[in-house]
């Protein structure tokens, strides 16, 4: 099984009344696939998974699948801080046509490493589709250590990837050394993607790919071909955008950017809110305008 190198953690479009805009989700998914994304992850953090019901997740999956067809890899975020619920969601995702699932570390209850190992193995064991683990301590309050990842990998053959967003380059390098190439390591941070690639990461689960998917694809291929100077130049050009997209809690800024570009994804759901002050997105607006003028932005047209 060949895994995509560039996954987009897709936003969930909403109507003005707060309901999911399934038609727009399909249109956005199709556009992303034609602009650098090789696969999509639905109902992840960027998709506002904590604010979606289980039935909404499955309806979203079916709507996007109907639009992009069977060939596009569609993965679904099914991780929660409840092991039984996560397993049930993962099986339901498989039954509704997901190509894989993304399992975030349990949040709030802060399990020890043994609890993390048992949580992931309980969900993955017997599941008929592949699994990507997701380590993001800034949101979950717990850090999945490389040795624990290796243990899960050894116990479950279908655990084939990890999205690493721990923010530590030494931990990233240790993780790559311990699990690669049997397990694909993805950068979970756009700003660290170039460095992660040079350390041996396989790809990225990206937010910025909503806007610059083609550029991320080019940078990836440059690193693979050892054109590090060219890749570094793209990274340097895009770094201010990476930083600005996370000025506010994700996905507030990327949703604002898409709406600014006349891609109607709507607002975020409570408890997230979009800043209402006049100059909240001035810097992001300026960066997008600069990228358009420079021909570097993958415009929707």
Catalytic residues: 134, 163
On the CB side of 79, how many CA atoms lie within 13 Å of its CA?
27
Tokens matching residue 146: 């490389």
d(Cα 284, Cα 259) in Å, to the nearest integer? Answer: 12
Please give the C-alpha separations between residue 181 and each of 10, 26, 128, 170, 259, in angstroms, as whole numbers: 26, 33, 21, 18, 39
Q: How far is CA 220 from CA 36, 217, 230, 289, in A?
A: 11, 5, 10, 24
CA–CA separation, 48 vs 11, rounded Å?
7
| Residue showing tokens 């897709």 | 10
Parallel, antiparallel or unpaired: strands 159-164 and 6-9:
unpaired
Burial class (CB in 10 A: 0-12, 13-18, 19+), 176: buried
Q: How far apart (Å, rounded) are the C-alpha atoms in residues 33 and 210?
A: 10
Please say whether the dihedral angle defined by the alpha carbons of residues 44, 45, 46 and 49, taken in this order, is positive or negative.
Answer: positive
């Amino acid at each position: 099984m060949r895994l995509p190198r560039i996954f987009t953690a897709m936003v969930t479009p909403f109507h003005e009344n707060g309901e999911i805009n399934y038609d727009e989700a399909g249109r956005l998914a199709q556009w992303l696939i034609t602009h650098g994304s090789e696969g999509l992850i639905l109902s992840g953090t960027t998709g506002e998974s904590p604010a979606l019901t289980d039935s909404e997740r499955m309806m979203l999956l079916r709507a996007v699948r109907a639009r992009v067809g069977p060939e596009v890899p569609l993965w679904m975020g099914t991780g929660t801080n409840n092991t039984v619920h996560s397993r049930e969601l993962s099986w339901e995702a498989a039954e509704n046509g997901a190509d894989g699932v993304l399992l975030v570390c349990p949040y709030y209850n802060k399990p020890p490493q043994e609890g993390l190992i048992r949580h992931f193995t309980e969900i993955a064991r017997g599941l008929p589709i592949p699994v990507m683990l997701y380590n993001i301590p800034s949101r979950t309050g717990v850090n999945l250590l490389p040795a624990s990842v290796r243990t899960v990998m050894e116990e479950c053959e279908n655990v084939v990837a990890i999205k690493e967003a721990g923010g530590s380059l030494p931990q990233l390098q240790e993780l790559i050394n311990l699990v690669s190439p049997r397990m694909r390591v993805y950068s979970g941070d756009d700003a660290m993607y170039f460095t992660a690639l040079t350390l041996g990461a396989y790809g990225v689960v990206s937010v910025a790919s909503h806007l610059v998917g083609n550029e991320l694809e080019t940078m990836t291929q440059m690193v693979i071909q050892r054109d590090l100077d060219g890749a570094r130049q793209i990274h340097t050009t895009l770094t201010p955008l990476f930083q600005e997209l996370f000025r506010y809690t994700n996905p507030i800024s990327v949703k604002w950017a898409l709406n600014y570009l006349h891609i109607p994804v709507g607002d975020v759901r409570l408890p997230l809110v979009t800043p209402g002050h006049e100059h909240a997105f001035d810097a992001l607006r300026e960066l997008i305008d600069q990228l358009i003028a420079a021909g570097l932005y993958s415009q929707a047209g």
